[in-house]
Amino acid sequence: MASPPSAPDLQPQTGPPAVAPAVALDNLTCVFGKVRAVDGVTLNIAQGEFYSLLGPSGSGKTTCLRVIGGFEAASSGSVRLFGQDAARLAAYDRPVNTVFQDYALFPHMSVLDNVAYALTVRGVGKAERLKKAGAMLELVKLGELGSRRPAQLSGGQRQRVALARALVNAPKLLLLDEPLGALDLKLREAMQTELRAIQQTLGITFVYVTHDQGEAMSMSDRVAVFRAGKIEQEGSPRELYGHPRTAFVADFVGGANVLGAVLVGQSSGTYALRPEQISLTPDPGAPMRGRVTGLHYLGATTRVEVQVGGQTVHASVPSGDVLHLKINDQTALNWNPADLRRLEDA
């Protein structure tokens, strides 16, 4: 009689070990007197991710960044960096560097020496530190300006020096606290492109604090929108823009119209509708009519304000389509019903 086939080997299958998040905050709370600056924030930031903390002043985003960097102590909750509990780690013992808004460059040092300073503190030999500092200046496209002093540079160039200085120690995590806030619009937009390119070249984790939704949307893999010490919503820029869950997120990220059910022909709820999703039409059968109260020419588009039932509705339309409009004209508004996003907090 033939022997039965042997049972298959049922040893547990083991895959590659899970990669710890670069940053893990668990129920983080920071209280200053009577103010809960951060109120139970939980988030995970993956290694190699460009992650932005977005929100208005006083929303808790900068306090979170300072806790991650070791500049503030949490009242409760935990902070883990690359799987390690950071509660007892001093700022200088964390695998982190920070770029601040004011740059804090040494005015008496050359650009090259400013970048090399952190290596000097660590006892790196002169030849090696100057080589590394020079290479980092090349990365931020300032290789030919190493002999200048900070006062001889433009705002954008000083920002790049501060970035090079923060990166020269090869941190695993870079924190950026509104570093573009002092720059003019055109330079700020150019630096957004540069920052994203540098982050992708180096592959390190960037955590970026800003109140400017355009900055967060253009650079980030994911964004956490802060409000009153809490995260209101987290997701990719596309998710936040296309599918806001609350009226605050709908308005703060992209300036959506927040409209009641009756105004948009629905039976209940509150809805978000983006200005660019609204068209103006002479069609008397359009779902909404109102009086033009504002015309703001922006080049290719014009932002039109229309008073409808006591509420101002904003539409962003091609400028050529509204050449005939004047203040106090009556107009009709139309949209695709599929563009309406019902909000959760209504």
The domain that holds 57 is classified in CATH as 3.40.50.300
**pLDDT of res. 15:** 60
Tell me if 37 sits within 8 A of 209, measured CB to CB.
no
| Whether 110 and 46 share a structural domain | yes
pLDDT score for 14: 60
For residue 3, is it within any domain?
A: no
Cα(47)–Cα(174) distance, rounded to whole angstroms? 11
**150 and 234: one domain?**
yes
- Domain identity same for 65 and 106: yes
The stretches of 173-220 forming alpha helices (DSSP H) are 185-202, 213-219
Question: What does the pLDDT read at residue 338?
Answer: 94
Q: Are residues 39 and 111 in the same domain?
A: yes
Q: 181: which residues sit within 8 A by CB, 6+ positions away?
A: 101, 210, 212
As for how many domains the chain has, the answer is 2
So what's the pLDDT on residue 12? 56
Same domain, 231 and 336: no
Q: What are the structure tokens assigned to 305, written together?
A: 């304000």
Domain encompassing residue 328: 256-342
- Indicate if 269 and 234 belong to the same structural domain: no
- 3-class SS of residue 38: strand
> What is the mean pLDDT, run by run of 10 residues, along the chain of 346 residues?
50 67 97 95 97 96 96 95 93 90 86 91 89 92 92 89 90 92 81 90 94 94 97 97 96 94 90 95 82 96 94 95 92 93 82
* Position 32, amino acid: F
Domain match, 208 and 331 both: no
Q: Per the domain annotation, does 336 fall within a domain?
A: yes
Q: Do 119 and 166 fall into the same domain? A: yes
Q: Which two tokens stand for residue 13?
A: 């299958």
> Please, what sign has the CA dihedral across residues 46, 49, 54, 57?
positive
pLDDT value for 156? 85
Last residue of a domain, one of 197, 213, 242: 242
Both 237 and 294 in one domain: the answer is no
The count of C-alpha atoms lying within 13 angstroms of the C-alpha of 103, restricted to the half-sphere facing its C-beta, is 24
Alpha-carbon distance of 191 to 135, in angstroms, equals 19
Using a 10 angstrom Cβ sphere, with 0-12 exposed, 13-18 middle and 19 or more buried, the burial of residue 183 is middle
